[in-house]
């Protein structure tokens, strides 16, 4: 008796951690070695998700052991080098993860925003300087993202449109930060006296 339609995708029962899925996705996008994966991360998702070299190579070993990628030695001169390609099972596992209905938490750890939250403890000029630093950081991020837009456009031509989409979302996010900084800056200009905390000596 058949267990179901032959064309139903049945990926292996394997649960990866987030770095594992990131590495698997990068191999699918054409990053063939650990070094290339790190370089691709630096040019793309590092603006919203970080992965260290110490996570990449163990993930590659686990993925290869599980049959989700295939590796072969391809040394360059005296330097050892192993390159990888995604397998059909790897494609299936990646699609299963992307399709999974689960909460998608948004985690933002921004020391600049934390400092701004407490900036009423500063003199007005100091708070303005802090706000300017946050604005300048976003301006620099927009410039950095804009520089790699051509790479994302090239990926779209090759059939990978979503790196460009996420790049444009990142640019939009930081442009919004810049707009809010510019809008709020005039409100900090009047030199209002700081409110003293009750019970504290002047």
Dump pLDDT digits (tens) for 152-173: 898 899 899 999 999 999 999 9
Cα 67 to chain centroid, rounded: 26
Q: What is the percent of the chain where pLDDT is above 90?
A: 61
Q: Map out the domains of the chain as residue ranges.
A: 18-99, 111-188
> pLDDT (tens digit, 9 = 90+) per residue, 168-198?
999 999 999 999 999 999 988 765 555 555 6
84 strand-pairing partners: 71
pLDDT of the residue at 147 = 92
The pLDDT score that the predictor gives to residue 1 is 41
Task: Tell me the CA end-to-end span of the chain in Å, nearest whole number.
Answer: 85
Give per-residue pLDDT as tens, 119-136: 999 999 999 999 999 999
DSSP 1-64: ---S-TTS----S----HHHHHHHHHHHTT--SHHHHHHHHHTTGGGT----HHHHHHHHHHHH
Compute the distance between CA of residue 40 and CA of residue 124 in angstroms, rounded to an integer: 42
Q: What is the pLDDT of residue 131?
A: 97
Look up the CATH number of domain 18-99: 1.10.10.10
pLDDT band at 47 (very low <50, low <70, confident <90, very high): confident
Average pLDDT over residues 95-124: 91
- Please give the Cα distance from 135 to 131 (Å, whole number): 6
Token pair belonging to 93 = 């596992």
Q: Counting Cβ atoms within 10 Å, is residue 195 exposed (0-12), middle (13-18) or buried (19+)?
A: exposed
* pLDDT score at 46: 83
């Amino acid at each position: 008796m058949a267990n179901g339609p032959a064309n139903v995708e049945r990926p292996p029962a394997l649960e990866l951690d987030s770095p594992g899925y990131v590495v698997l996705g990068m191999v699918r996008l054409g990053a063939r070695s650990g070094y290339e994966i790190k370089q691709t991360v630096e040019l793309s998702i590092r603006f919203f998700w970080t992965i260290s070299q110490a996570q990449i190579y163990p993930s590659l070993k686990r993925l290869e052991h599980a049959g989700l990628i295939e590796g072969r030695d391809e040394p360059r001169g005296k330097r050892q080098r192993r390159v990888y390609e995604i397998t059909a099972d790897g494609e299936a596992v990646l699609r299963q993860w992307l399709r999974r209905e689960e909460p998608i938490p948004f985690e933002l750890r921004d020391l600049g925003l934390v400092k701004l939250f407490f900036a009423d403890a500063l003199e007005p000029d100091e708070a303005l300087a802090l706000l300017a630093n946050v604005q300048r950081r976003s301006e620099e991020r927009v410039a950095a993202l804009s520089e790699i837009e051509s790479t994302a456009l090239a990926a779209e031509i090759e059939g990978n449109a979503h790196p460009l989409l996420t790049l444009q979302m990142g640019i939009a996010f930081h442009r919004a930060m810049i707009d809010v900084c510019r809008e709020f800056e005039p409100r900090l200009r009047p030199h209002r006296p700081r409110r003293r905390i009750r019970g504290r000596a002047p």
